[in-house]
Amino acid sequence: MGVVATFDVDTSARDRLLAKKAEHDRLEQEMQDLAVTALKQTCQEIFLKHPDLESFAWIQYKGEYNDDGPHHGVNGIAINHEWDEESPNYSGNRYVFFEGAWNHSGVKVEIFDAITELGEEILMKALGGYHQVTVTRQSISVDHYEGW
């Protein structure tokens, strides 16, 4: 094996690298803050457009591959607490989230389109993965989801 490296290199490289890492970490935090702000803005716009809408929710999960190809992002939109067995609006289907995007209609399509327009990377920065995201007019809550 020959010489892999010699030690006549720029000694400031380590300092520059550490400075870039600190800048990267700062930018990552800034991106996360902006992602949350963009999500809040999108949700506010949805509620303004649909005054009768009380709440909506979806399952947010990380990108992964399965036999069908990429499997990620927003799955199943539920509105007005139809997923909650304790709610008077309960749909009769605890698994309403598994309807998938292809079964959405009306306001669910609009919500799905508005949320997914932000992009998976932004949603992951704002929310993380494998969560049930519930949005009401007052708040956005994220609960760990173990539905798989």
pLDDT at 148: 45
Alpha helices in 6-148 (DSSP H): 13-49, 107-117, 120-127
pLDDT at 71: 47
- What does the alpha-carbon distance between residue 95 and residue 147 come to, in Å, rounded to a whole number? 9
Q: How confident is the model at residue 92 (pLDDT cuts 50, 70, 90)?
A: low
Cα angle value 136/139/144 (rounded, 5°): 90
Question: Which range, 4-18, 93-107, 133-147, has the best average confidence (pLDDT)?
Answer: 133-147
Within 8 A by CB and 6+ apart from 114, the residues are 42, 45, 46
Q: How confident is the model at residue 144 (pLDDT cuts 50, 70, 90)?
A: confident
Contact assessment for residue 43 and residue 77, using Cβ atoms and an 8 Å cutoff: no
Contact assessment for residue 129 and residue 120, using Cβ atoms and an 8 Å cutoff: no
pTM (predicted TM-score): 0.71
- What does the alpha-carbon distance between residue 105 and residue 112 come to, in Å, rounded to a whole number? 10
